[in-house]
Structure 1
Amino acid sequence: MQTVAAVVVTYNRLNDLKKCIDSLQKQTRLLDAILVINNGSTDGTAEWLADQSTLRVITQANLGGAGGFATGIKTAYQADFDLLWCMDDDCLAAPNALQELLESPNIGPCIKNCMSVSTKDDAELAFYVDRPNRSYRQVTDMTSFDLVYGVASLFNGTLISSEVIRTIGIPDEKLFIWGDEVEYMTRAQKMGFPVVTVPNSVFYHPPSFDRNGIPWPGAWKQYYAVRNQRRVFQNMHGDKYGNLVFLQWSVRETLQQMMEKRKNRIYNFLLYGEAAFDSMLNNFRKRPETILTLRLYRFMHK
Structure 2
Amino acid sequence: METIAALVVTYNRLADLQKCLDTLREQTHKLDAIFIVNNGSTDGTAEWLATQTDLLVTTQANLGGAGGFATGIDTAYRAGHTWIWCMDDDCLAAPDALAALVAAPNLGPCIKNSMSVSVNSRDELAFFVDRPNQAYRKVSDMTGVDLIYGVASFFNGTLVHRKVVETIGIPDKNLFIWGDEVEYMTRAQKNGFPIVTVPRSVFYHPASFDRDGIPWPAAWKQYYAVRNQRRVLQNQFGNTLGRMLYASWAAKATLQQAVAQRDNRLYNFLLYGEAALDSLTGNFDKRPDTIRTLQFYKWRNK
For normalisation by structure 2, the TM-score amounts to 0.99
Q: What aligned pairs does 1:1-302 form with structure 2 within 5 A after superposition?
A: 1-210=1-210, 213-302=213-302
Structure 1 position 159, deviation (Å): 0.1
Q: Distance in 2 between matches of 1:295 and 1:77?
A: 39
Q: Distance in 2 between matches of 1:264 and 1:144?
A: 44
Structure 1 position 183, deviation (Å): 0.2
Q: Distance in 1 between matches of 2:255 and 2:275?
A: 13
Contact 2:212 2:222 (C-alpha < 8 Å) held by counterparts: no
For residues 92-119 of structure 1, what are the alpha-carbon distances to aligned partners after superposition, in whole Å with 9 as ceiling and x for unaligned? Answer: 0000000000000111111110000001
Structure 1 position 212, deviation (Å): 6.5
Secondary structure at the aligned position of 1:136 is classed as: strand
Secondary structure at the aligned position of 1:20 is classed as: helix
Q: Distance in 1 between matches of 2:5 and 2:160?
A: 10
Q: Distance in 2 between matches of 1:178 and 1:81?
A: 27
Q: Distance in 2 between matches of 1:149 and 1:219?
A: 32
Contact 2:9 2:88 (C-alpha < 8 Å) held by counterparts: yes
Q: Distance in 2 between matches of 1:13 and 1:181?
A: 20
For normalisation by structure 1, the TM-score amounts to 0.99
Secondary structure at the aligned position of 2:146 is classed as: coil
Secondary structure at the aligned position of 1:200 is classed as: strand
Q: Distance in 2 between matches of 1:266 and 1:131?
A: 32
Q: Distance in 2 between matches of 1:297 and 1:194?
A: 43
Secondary structure at the aligned position of 2:159 is classed as: strand
Residue type of the alignment partner of 1:171: P
For residues 244-265 of structure 1, what are the alpha-carbon distances to aligned partners after superposition, in whole Å with 9 as ceiling and x for unaligned? Answer: 0100110111111122211111
Q: Provide runs of 4+ in structure 1 moved above 2 Å.
A: 209-212
For the aligned residue pairs, the C-alpha RMSD in angstroms reads 0.8
**What is the number of equivalent residue pairs in this alignment?**
302
Percent identity over the alignment? 68
Q: Distance in 2 between matches of 1:101 and 1:74?
A: 22
Structure 1 position 300, deviation (Å): 1.0
Contact 2:176 2:224 (C-alpha < 8 Å) held by counterparts: yes
Q: Distance in 2 between matches of 1:138 and 1:214?
A: 24
Contact 2:8 2:37 (C-alpha < 8 Å) held by counterparts: yes
Residue type of the alignment partner of 1:222: Q
Contact 2:223 2:275 (C-alpha < 8 Å) held by counterparts: yes
Residue type of the alignment partner of 1:189: Q
Structure 1, unaligned runs of 5 or more: none
Structure 1 position 143, deviation (Å): 0.5
Distance 1:255 1:271, change over 3 A: same
For residues 146-175 of structure 1, what are the alpha-carbon distances to aligned partners after superposition, in whole Å with 9 as ceiling and x for unaligned? Answer: 111111110000000001111000000000
Structure 1 position 211, deviation (Å): 5.7
For residues 184-237 of structure 1, what are the alpha-carbon distances to aligned partners after superposition, in whole Å with 9 as ceiling and x for unaligned? Answer: 000000000011111000000000122662111111000000000000000000
Structure 1 position 145, deviation (Å): 1.8
Which deviates more, 143-152 or 237-246? 143-152
Q: Distance in 1 between matches of 2:212 and 2:254?
A: 16
Structure 1 position 132, deviation (Å): 2.0
Q: Distance in 1 between matches of 2:211 and 2:277?
A: 24
Structure 2, unaligned runs of 5 or more: none
Q: Distance in 1 between matches of 2:61 and 2:269?
A: 31
Which deviates more, 38-47 or 141-150? 141-150
Q: Distance in 2 between matches of 1:12 and 1:52?
A: 17
